[in-house]
Amino acid sequence: MKTCDVLVNGNVDQLFTYAIPDNFIGKIEIGNIVTVPLGNRKIHGIVVTIGSKTKVKNLKEIIDIKYKIKVINNNSLNVIKKTSNYFLQNIGKFCTKLIPPSNPNYRIEYQRISNEKASKREKEILALINDRIDKRELLSHTTRSTVNKMIEHGLIKEVKTLLNCRNDAIKTEFTDFSSLPKSNTPIDRKGTVFIRKSPVMYDYINKIIRINLSENKRILIILPQLLSHQYLIDFLRSVYKNDVCFYSSALHNREKNISFHNIIAGNPKIIVGTGDALFLPYENIASLVFLMPESPYHFHYDSMPFYNAEIVAGIFAKEYAIPLYIIGKTPSINLFPSINAGRTRLIENDSTKSEFYYLKSKNPYDILTKQIISEIKSGIKRKERTLIIYNQLGYYPFVKCNNCNTIVSCPVCNTPLTFTGKNNLYYCQKCKKYFTIKRCINCGSNNLNFSGTGMEKIASQLRNEFTEGDIKTISANTPLNINEISRYDLIITTSFIFRDLYPNKFHTIIIPSIENILNEYIIKSEWHFVRIIEYLKSFLVPRGKIITQSPIYYDFVPYLSSNKIENYISYTLNLRREFSLPPYFHTITVKTSENRPFPERLYEQLSRYESNSTTISKSNNEIIIKTKKLSDFTFLKSIQRKGKSRIYVDSVEYL
């Protein structure tokens, strides 16, 4: 009897064996996606091996072949297995990453019919349409209601095409790079290299790409926050056209589907993707480039991933036996010991010189102090550009009722709402929604007390202070137009957004309140803040300055002022060794929801492993294990099935 091992799409940590029915013999190949019965469910799985021996009796049969494409190869299977073990996750979880999204595969386009009786605005829109235009593209210029009106007026019509991504979405026209002159630039072609360079300077990446293309090899570039590197995306698209392929969970499902099939088919030479792209199968790949997320903000966009992309990149590079280029401004805490030990080569290529200033304020609520205003004033006099980073949207971030002291909060999630400065409009930063509130929800009084400082308040205060030039405020809610921004000399922005400002450069970057950045829930330590400061330097002109202000004196200030960041890292590492934290100890955090406590048996089982090199702290719904031996705890994988337990592993250095 022919059988096959299947990696099923479920939260399980094993492969299952199924019988291949006669009518599928010879049709099923390794890597195909099949439908299989599991318990009483029908689910998808990936064929990993085909054989004829099994110990299991009463095998169930494969139901159907879903996709006859090869979504796995030996290397990618090993990457998945190792990642699964390294982060204590069930192997079945990775199956989702290999099944192409199967959402509606329609392409909606608008076809131009006539321009008779078109209004002025409608004529402008019609001018954008040559013959047909993609719906998404048209909607980036105008709104849906306008488009609907235009259809009603008979100016355009909608054309709906059914896409079959399995067949017709594969791109065709590819460039033949074999005639490209061989590059003579010396470049490390082995092991791990950390290139200390401004991550927004993309010429080094381009150099690696050219070398690989001239050898007819493929290259994978990982950007953990793909969409924030718009400049790089635009650049690669314009130069390499069909030979570059973007893959990210943030993409529209249709685009992602097309990218997926193209990557599987082995067509694009350059693959740019998020961490998920590391689990796809690749042939003929020669280099891996990893652009470090320079700030912790990329976690803001997705739910916390269960793996660390940098470590998976290391696993990937070892498995495919290719060089790994990590490009960043500051090495991660995991990478630094590896550089110190000489396992990772360091290429120092950063010549930007900048100055760091620390101003002491009297209390944390003083944002626009005299010192800050005079800095901005002198900058404007010299006709220099200034960027202010301040993480508080709206005008007044804190509003409460004078009558009953109730805080105006989100009706959905109870987070305090921010007053936007516009008519009764409040914004919830957690739900990302606007609410119109006229009166106190509790007592109905309209006597509200507005306090705190938001971005818009700073802007309006500065507008009163200066008459020359205008001030631009940018946040995640405002559409970003780089060309428009370059007109402004004074920009106020949140830290989520500033990195999208490339290639804008500034003479001065001001952080009027260190606490404002440090107190964010995403920032876990001062180390994150230091990395942000290092990263900010890439937005400075040579000899530009970073000015920070706080009532508290922090440990990192002398290190930053003297530009001795390495010393600060050593200092942090010593602290981490003392407290048994990564990169010296694996930290395994097991969380469960409050209404589903851990079974008693688990505590018993865990206490067996307590020793000199392993400490375990327990509470009702969280267990924190600090250990040197991760392999002792593989049994934890099974508890993920029971209840809502989640395991996060903050692991030690891998490279």
Q: Which residues bind DNA (CB under 7 A)?
A: 9-12, 14, 16-19, 37-41, 54, 56, 58-60, 96, 101-104, 119-122, 135, 142-146, 148-149, 252-253, 422-423, 433-436, 477, 641-644
Are β-strands 433-436 and 425-428 bridged in parallel, bridged antiparallel, or unpaired? Answer: antiparallel
CB of 457 to DNA, least distance (A): 19
CB of 204 to DNA, least distance (A): 33
Cis peptide before 100 (omega within 30 of 0): no
In 3-state terms, the chain is what percent helix, strand and coil (to 5)?
Answer: 30, 25, 45
CB of 479 to DNA, least distance (A): 8
Q: Which tokens sit at 286?
A: 């020669």
Tell me how far apart the terminal alpha carbons of the chain are, to the nearest angstrom.
44
Query: Which of 99, 541 has the CB closer to DNA?
Result: 99
The whole-angstrom separation of Cα 420 and Cα 456 is 8
Query: Which of 121, 543 has the CB closer to DNA?
Result: 121
Query: Which of 58, 179 has the CB closer to DNA?
Result: 58
Please check whether residue 517 is in contact with residue 389, taking contact to mean a CB–CB distance below 8 angstroms.
yes
Q: How far is CA 72 from CA 9, 32, 36, 98, 280, in A?
A: 14, 8, 17, 8, 7
CB of 290 to DNA, least distance (A): 25
Query: Which of 118, 180 has the CB closer to DNA?
Result: 118
**Can you list the pairs that 258-266 forms with residues at least 24 positions away whose Cβ atoms lie under 8 Å?**
258/165, 258/169, 258/171, 260/100, 260/101, 261/69, 261/100, 261/165, 261/166, 261/169, 261/170, 262/169, 262/170, 262/171, 264/69, 264/70, 264/71, 265/69, 265/170, 266/218
- Establish how many alpha carbons lie within 13 A of residue 327's alpha carbon, considering only the half-sphere containing its beta carbon: 23
List the one residue out of 53, 52, 100, 51 whose CA is nearest residue 72. 100
CB of 75 to DNA, least distance (A): 24
CB of 355 to DNA, least distance (A): 39
Query: Which of 513, 645 has the CB closer to DNA?
Result: 645
Sequential DSSP letters for 265-304: HT--SEEEE-GGGGGS--SSEEEEEEE--SSGGGGGTSPP
Query: Which of 149, 318 has the CB closer to DNA?
Result: 149
CB of 303 to DNA, least distance (A): 9
Query: Which of 477, 570 has the CB closer to DNA?
Result: 477
Query: Which of 423, 612 has the CB closer to DNA?
Result: 423
CB of 279 to DNA, least distance (A): 15
